[in-house]
């Protein structure tokens, strides 16, 4: 009887059911589903794990390692864990997440004294790290910036393409990296963006560009900010490496600060995977700068409406750890020092790798290794040279030549340089 009283929509679904069963009986439910291609980054680790060579090196995934090649948990994080343990219930967070964590995050990103923060112009919610932040904005763009396109740099983190594709936002590629100079192709970048339709969204890496390690200078950021204001282009800044670029969290946020000071309304994605080592906690913040507190309230409500059907609400533990660190001046200073220590080790590995290559008599210039910043080095190696590194030396990296400098240490940098030398001179 309940079926007879169902709605017309339900009745239509029931009428379609026999056909579905017929299909299932003939071909099975999922026989038509092909295997998905391996993720270009995570697939590197799968191959690395299957290699039995004791000298193998994993330079694919961007996860920090110390000079012994071991994972690191920061002392400030351990102290935060000690304080948090047993002190909180494990109830659901609100859809928008841990509010104090979000407020701490936007101050870290926009600045403690930022007018847009003090003026309550920033809509903010906790997100599932950087990927979740970008995905939320892509959905927000699709819902509330209808018809706008996303301009994505070439190259970029490969998952950016997946995120906006799945949000059904049209993508346009703009030039970013100059293969000849192994630096920023700033002139072509600005020329392309100057022709973008007003209302377009431009994805920018706020610091430590992934995969190239090539960032605009302060003067170039200022010029780009002016151009985008004039052309009425909306910045979406992905800041996954604040502190990792230079070792200075304030300096690494300069692009965000420049754009906000110039009057931009923008979106910001923040992640604590790299700079606090909270990879598995999936903790981040997604925010949008608005014109007024009322507008921010409305925008934030729609951000929550998008998050609700995706994951209901974000996890608690990582947010508590970050809030504990950022809200305690002494612990925050300790964290600043640890972030600088990680960045300095990566910078020293860049210098060592370049020195080793040059001492081997390489005919190539390796200056770009030390010119680039952040976790990754865009080596300039061809896919064929990468294949040789993997096949002959068990050195694993993505085929675009990106090396995670976090996987380089004083014990393996010499072998890495020798292998690179051999595949680039043979």
Residues annotated as catalytic (active site), given as ranges: 157, 238, 274
Identify the H or E element spanning 74.
none
**Three-state secondary structure of 260-303:** HHCCCCCEEEEECCCCCCCHHHCCEEEEEECCCHHHHHHHHHHH
Cβ atoms within 10 Å of 1's Cβ, excluding its own = 4
Burial of 348 (0-12, 13-18, 19+ CB in 10 A): middle
Q: Of 384, 302, 309, 403, which Cα lies nearest the Cα of 58?
A: 403
Tokens standing for 177?
A: 């990296």
H/E stretch holding 167 reads none
Query: 295 phi and psi, to 5 degrees?
Result: -65, -40
> What's the gap between Cα 273 and its chain centre?
9
DSSP-based three-state secondary structure for 231: coil
**Phi, psi for residue 61 in degrees, rounded to 5:** -80, 135
Is the dihedral angle over the CA atoms 136, 139, 143, 145 positive or is it negative?
A: positive
Q: Which residues contact 144 (CB under 8 A, 6 or more apart)?
A: 302
């Amino acid at each position: 009887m309940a079926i007879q009283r169902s709605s017309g929509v339900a009745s239509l679904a029931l009428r379609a059911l026999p056909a579905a069963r017929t299909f299932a009986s003939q071909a099975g439910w999922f026989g038509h589903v092909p295997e998905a291609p391996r993720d270009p980054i995570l697939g590197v680790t799968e191959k690395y794990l299957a290699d039995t060579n004791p000298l193998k090196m994993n330079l694919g995934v961007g996860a920090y390692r110390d000079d012994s090649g071991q994972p690191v948990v920061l002392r400030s994080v351990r102290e935060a864990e000690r304080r948090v343990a047993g002190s909180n219930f494990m109830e659901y967070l609100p859809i928008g997440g841990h509010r104090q964590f979000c407020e701490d995050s936007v101050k870290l990103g926009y600045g403690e004294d930022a007018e847009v923060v003090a003026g309550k112009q920033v809509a903010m919610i906790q997100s599932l790290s950087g990927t979740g932040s970008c995905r939320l904005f892509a959905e927000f763009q699709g819902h509330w910036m209808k018809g706008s396109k996303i301009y994505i740099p070439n190259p970029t983190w490969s998952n950016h393409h997946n995120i906006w594709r799945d949000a059904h936002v049209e993508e346009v590629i703009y030039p970013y990296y100059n293969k000849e100079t192994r630096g920023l192709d700033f002139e072509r970048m600005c020329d392309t963006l100057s022709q973008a339709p007003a209302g377009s969204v431009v994805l920018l890496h706020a610091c430590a560009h992934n995969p190239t390690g090539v960032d605009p200078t302060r003067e170039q950021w200022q010029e780009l900010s002016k151009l985008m204001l004039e052309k009425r282009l909306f910045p979406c800044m992905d800041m996954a490496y604040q502190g990792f670029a230079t070792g200075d969290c304030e300096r690494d946020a300069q692009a965000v600060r420049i754009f906000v000071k110039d009057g931009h309304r923008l979106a910001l994605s923040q992640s604590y995977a790299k700079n606090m080592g909270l990879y598995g906690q999936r903790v981040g913040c997604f925010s949008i700068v608005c014109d007024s507190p009322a507008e921010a309230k409305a925008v934030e409500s729609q951000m929550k409406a998008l998050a609700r059907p995706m994951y209901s609400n974000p996890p608690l533990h990582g947010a508590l750890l970050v809030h504990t660190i950022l809200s305690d001046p002494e612990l925050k200073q300790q964290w600043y020092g640890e972030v600088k220590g990680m960045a300095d080790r990566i910078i020293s590995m860049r210098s060592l790798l370049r020195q080793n290559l040059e001492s081997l008599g390489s005919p190539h210039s390796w200056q770009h290794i030390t010119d680039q910043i952040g976790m990754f080095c865009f080596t300039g190696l061809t896919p064929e040279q990468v294949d040789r590194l993997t096949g002959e030396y068990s050195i694993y990296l993505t085929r675009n030549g990106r090396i995670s400098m976090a996987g380089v240490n004083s014990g393996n940098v010499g072998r890495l340089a020798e292998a690179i030398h051999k595949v680039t001179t043979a």
